[in-house]
Structure 1
Amino acid sequence: MATVALGSKAGKWIMVSSIMASAMAFIDSTALNVVLPSLQKSLNASGTDLFWILNAYLLMLAALILIGGSLGDRLGRKKVFMAGIFIFILGSAACGFAPSVTLLVVFRMLQGIGGALMIPGSLSLISSSINPKERGKAIGTWSAFTTVVTMGGPILGGAFGDAGLWRYIFFINIPIGVAALFILAREVKEIKDEDGVQGLDFAGAIAIALGLAALTFGFLRIPAVGLNNWQVYSSLGGGLFLLLVFLIIEKKSKYPMMPLQLFSNLTFSGANLLTFFLYAGLGAGMLFLGLNMVQVQGYSQLQSGLTFLPFTVLMITLARFAGAQADKHGPRLLLICGPAIAGAGLLILSFVKQTAGPADYWTTFFPGILVFGLGMSLTVAPLTTAVMGSVSDHFSGTASGVNNALTRIASVFANAILGALAVLFFSGALQGELKNIKLDSKQKQVIEKQSINLGNAKVPEGFEGKDKAVIEKAYKESFISAFGKIMQISAFSGFLGALMAVFFIKNSAVKKGKE
């Protein structure tokens, strides 16, 4: 398969179009996290509604991204990539006009379908087009630029959120997507796996989509109905059964969306396990950090977005360097140190209590964000290099799809499981706070019902003056308590990712500048 130099005209256009399309998807998720408080207030959404708005997109992405990667390998990477961008643009426009939570969830699913075709296409296009000797550098460049734009999402989201324009988070995708389509149509040649065979694993896609949906529904129902409820048991049990069915389908399918033989390579398996644990911690950590800053610590949404600037600066400085070092020396050491450092950053953040707001940022949130950003900067490019370099070019689209799917599945599970745990932690802490307040049992029940709204919990009507202030303080203390526990679990997830690199990643299994 003919490849081009990274610095050539063709190489530059491939990089520009891939970065633009990927950034469009990634900025959407990070910016949305920051505007969730505005969205929650505007659409009168509960805490559980917020997790569904996040997970509707992630569910479709996780379920279909593997098929998206396979389609690109078989039908043409440019063609499928462009189709994904077009669908994502349509979904974004629809989300921007959504008048209710229900419709926003539906349109987020449409975005997810577009993303499933688009996201694996970007890395697959790079891996199959750029000269192998420069592939790590290209992936590092892609990682750096997409992460910079991604981390710019909170700043953009904060500005829109404070101005009451949270819907523009979706509208901003339209010009970016149109520009990417124009570049692809004019400047990028079609790339297709000529040895690929036709056939798509629709049964596998249906099984994993339903399985993930059932698991997510089960976890999100726990705060509302409790753990000991038939809805929870049946949903979680059904979800696990469907995921088992998915594995059986993949083993027997002639055209599996997730070829299980890829996992016989321990480096590929280890890199994907690392991805799962690290991005589970990342997803939950960033979500609750944003909610804490805006809803409890008194940051504006723009100020909350600006707090991620150290992360962005580190990515600009280190991601490309880390990718080049992974090319030269192998990714193993970076994939041990990076996730461990990221986990340490999340652990530091877990100890932040009530602050005086943005004035205290440098001595409270900044150290943890700095350490976390350093860890992620050392990890992102080498991790992608390990995944793509541990398989043959024939499976580049599928490998990218598997790794991206695990990233989204990790986020789905983190949002669903830790979202449910956060409500339980909040409720438990609130009960402890209310023991010290002179209220009757009925009043306490009314106050506790707000637990499902987490940081957006409002003092019920009928409480005024001193009582109202005490209850507001109890809500804040309860959220901070829940936040600390969630961040500690997220940190542990990062440490698990580092252990996966220790046990499974081998430099000898990753291609170094060869076809």
Structure 2
Amino acid sequence: MLSTTGGMTPAAHEASGGGQSPTEPVGSVRHPGWTVAATMLASSLAFIDGSVTNVALPAIGRDLGGGGAELPWVINAYLLPLSALILLGGAVGDHFGRRRMLVVGIMLFAAASVGCALAPNLTVLLASRGIQGIGAAILMPNSLGILGGSFSGEARGRAVGTWAAAGAIASAVGPPLGGWLVDSVGWRAIFYINLPVAAVAVIVTLRYVMESQEGTQPLDWVGAALATLALGSLTWALTLWSSHHAASTMTWVGLIAGTVLMLAFLYQEHRLRDRAMMPLALFASRPFLGLTLFTLLLYGALGGLLMLLPYLLIVGGGYSPTQAGFALLPFSVVIGAASRFAGRLSERAGPRWPLTIGSLVTGAGFALLIRTDPSASYWTSVMPGMAIIALGMAGAVAPLTTAVLSSVDERHTGTASGFNSAIARTGGLVATALAGAVIAAPTAQLTSVFHVAAAAAAISAMTAGMIAFITLKA
């Protein structure tokens, strides 16, 4: 998954047919154009919200208060349910109907956006962000599920390609648009813009999208609850640890509780076997295990950067939110331009070398950011590192999709792709929790602490490259 850049996720590739016969028939679609439009509008809510909030963090902190222990939760309150529940969100659509659940997800997201915009304090904002994350965990997999169930063959590929392109545009436009809104109207406006998009998405979906569903298998509610509580406890403990630069008694309580809950989740999944939200049989595959670690490390490094760099530029360099938003724009542009070429290269060479080299190049870009000076010229201090990171990530996105789908047997490809998307978001969740150490730093020390974070990201990305080289076959 690359929600912050709009690159095609493993889930998107699966919906596009990953490995299925191009002639497999799918029921006729009365309004193919409107069906694609509905899914694009719905998913753009999650794509924009995944990128726009980063540039608003300093303004939210000034208005509602909060430091290193609280501000990361503006991001993580959204990422936590999205990470933990996205697999269940797809299963709920298969069970109750994808169109029905897409509408539910959109309306939940819109209602939560109103809560964010009207939030009188940080507690209400965080609660509303959590509900947004639940809405996104429902609408994202079901928007792709509708495309996968409505089209076949080349038409499916074109539909998902259009969906992915819309995601790229939404993610690229998000930070500059968000920055401009924060500057001209205020940070609350970034949540109000969701409402007209959501209204149109619901109308188009109800009027033009056909209902589809696949199974009646019981849903793994217990697994979903345990995963959410485990990730929440671990994230809370890591945020507390990083923001206070020390491990308190409450930190250890959170880490121990999160570990116990995670073990309970694994036991639940083992007990349910193939009926589980995350079948443990997937991890019998060495390549899949390696790709899971690869995704966690690479996307964790990326998630931390996309949160911390705008914060550094605004607080440490005096950038306006608009300027900080535009500072991220070249990243999305390079990813969008280079990903298709990288995908063709991966088809010829296999995923091992593109993933290895792509993550090593990404690590080199993070290493360049160790010299970042927010008061120096953007073009010489920030842009070189960002461009190299974007080139490296462009080389890794498409090959990762191919590698995940080929690392498990055919009956598990859908679950594997969804799980890999969830792991990518979990990487961002952990990185954002640890980023509290940077946000909590005094302004005078902010740049030097950011340099430490950039070095950690470089090590994480390069380690991901070594894991890909060791666990994947040539």
Name the CA distance, whole Å, in 1 between partners of 2:424 and 2:405: 15
Aligned residues: 450
Structure 2 partner of 1:98: 119
Opposite residue 385 of structure 2, the aligned amino acid is: G
Name the CA distance, whole Å, in 1 between partners of 2:31 and 2:467: 37
TM-score, reference length from structure 2: 0.86
Structure 2 partner of 1:316: 336
The Cα offsets for residues 235-285 of structure 1, whole Å up to 9 and x where unpaired, read as 111111111111111010263111122333444433333221111001101
Instruction: Look at both structures and tell me which one has the larger radius of gyration over its CA atoms.
Output: 1
Structure 2 partner of 1:238: 257
1:53 and 2:74 are equivalent in the alignment: yes
Structure 1 partner of 2:416: 399
Once the two structures are overlaid, the 10-residue window that deviates more, 10-19 or 408-417, is 10-19
Cα distance change of structure 1 residues 407 and 10 upon mapping to structure 2, 3 Å threshold? farther
Cα distance change of structure 1 residues 264 and 334 upon mapping to structure 2, 3 Å threshold? same
Once the two structures are overlaid, the 10-residue window that deviates more, 324-333 or 151-160, is 324-333
**1:297–1:354 CA contact under 8 A, matched in 2:** yes
TM-superposed deviation, 1:181:
2.5
Structure 1 partner of 2:393: 376
Opposite residue 281 of structure 2, the aligned amino acid is: Q
Opposite residue 19 of structure 1, the aligned amino acid is: M
Name the CA distance, whole Å, in 2 between partners of 1:176 and 1:32: 17
Structure 2 partner of 1:428: none
**1:277–1:493 CA contact under 8 A, matched in 2:** yes
**1:263–1:269 CA contact under 8 A, matched in 2:** yes
The Cα offsets for residues 141-198 of structure 1, whole Å up to 9 and x where unpaired, read as 54443133112211011101212421111111122222223333333333332xx342
Structure 2 partner of 1:496: 463
Cα distance change of structure 1 residues 290 and 337 upon mapping to structure 2, 3 Å threshold? same
TM-superposed deviation, 1:214:
1.2
TM-superposed deviation, 1:307:
1.4
TM-superposed deviation, 1:94:
1.3
Opposite residue 30 of structure 1, the aligned amino acid is: S
Name the CA distance, whole Å, in 2 between partners of 1:325 and 1:129: 29
Opposite residue 311 of structure 2, the aligned amino acid is: L
The Cα offsets for residues 294-353 of structure 1, whole Å up to 9 and x where unpaired, read as 111121111111112222322332233434554566444432332222222222112213
Q: Secondary structure at the match of 1:355?
A: coil
Of the candidates 227, 233, 237, which is equivalent to residue 218 of structure 1? Answer: 237
Question: Which runs of structure 2 are paired with 1:45-444 in the superposition (5 Å)?
Answer: 45-132=66-153, 139=160, 141-193=162-214, 196-222=215-241, 227-253=246-272, 255-326=275-346, 330-356=350-376, 360-388=377-405, 395=412, 398-420=415-437, 422=438
**1:17–1:184 CA contact under 8 A, matched in 2:** yes
1:486 and 2:432 are equivalent in the alignment: no
Name the CA distance, whole Å, in 2 between partners of 1:187 and 1:505: 43
TM-superposed deviation, 1:199:
0.6
Name the CA distance, whole Å, in 2 between partners of 1:353 and 1:180: 42
Name the CA distance, whole Å, in 1 between partners of 2:156 and 2:351: 13
TM-superposed deviation, 1:9:
8.3
TM-score, reference length from structure 1: 0.80
Name the CA distance, whole Å, in 1 between partners of 2:160 and 2:148: 8
Opposite residue 102 of structure 1, the aligned amino acid is: T
Cα distance change of structure 1 residues 371 and 55 upon mapping to structure 2, 3 Å threshold? same
Q: Secondary structure at the match of 1:253?
A: helix
Contiguous gaps of at least 5 residues in structure 1: 424-451, 458-474, 508-515
Contiguous gaps of at least 5 residues in structure 2: 1-23
Cα distance change of structure 1 residues 34 and 205 upon mapping to structure 2, 3 Å threshold? same
Structure 1 partner of 2:6: none
**1:148–1:315 CA contact under 8 A, matched in 2:** no
TM-superposed deviation, 1:232:
1.2
Cα distance change of structure 1 residues 268 and 124 upon mapping to structure 2, 3 Å threshold? farther
TM-superposed deviation, 1:208:
1.3
Cα distance change of structure 1 residues 388 and 185 upon mapping to structure 2, 3 Å threshold? farther
**2:242–2:434 CA contact under 8 A, matched in 1:** no
Of the candidates 45, 59, 63, which is equivalent to residue 38 of structure 1? Answer: 59
Opposite residue 44 of structure 1, the aligned amino acid is: G
Name the CA distance, whole Å, in 2 between partners of 1:226 and 1:352: 23
TM-superposed deviation, 1:25:
0.7
Name the CA distance, whole Å, in 1 between partners of 2:403 and 2:97: 24
Structure 2 partner of 1:466: none
Indicate the percent of aligned positions where both proteins have the same amino acid: 37
Structure 1 partner of 2:7: none
Once the two structures are overlaid, the 10-residue window that deviates more, 14-23 or 229-238, is 14-23
**2:303–2:428 CA contact under 8 A, matched in 1:** yes
Opposite residue 265 of structure 2, the aligned amino acid is: F
**Aligned-pair Cα RMSD in Å:** 2.7
Opposite residue 427 of structure 2, the aligned amino acid is: A
Opposite residue 2 of structure 1, the aligned amino acid is: P
Structure 1 partner of 2:9: none
**1:144–1:315 CA contact under 8 A, matched in 2:** no
Name the CA distance, whole Å, in 2 between partners of 1:11 and 1:390: 32
Opposite residue 77 of structure 1, the aligned amino acid is: R
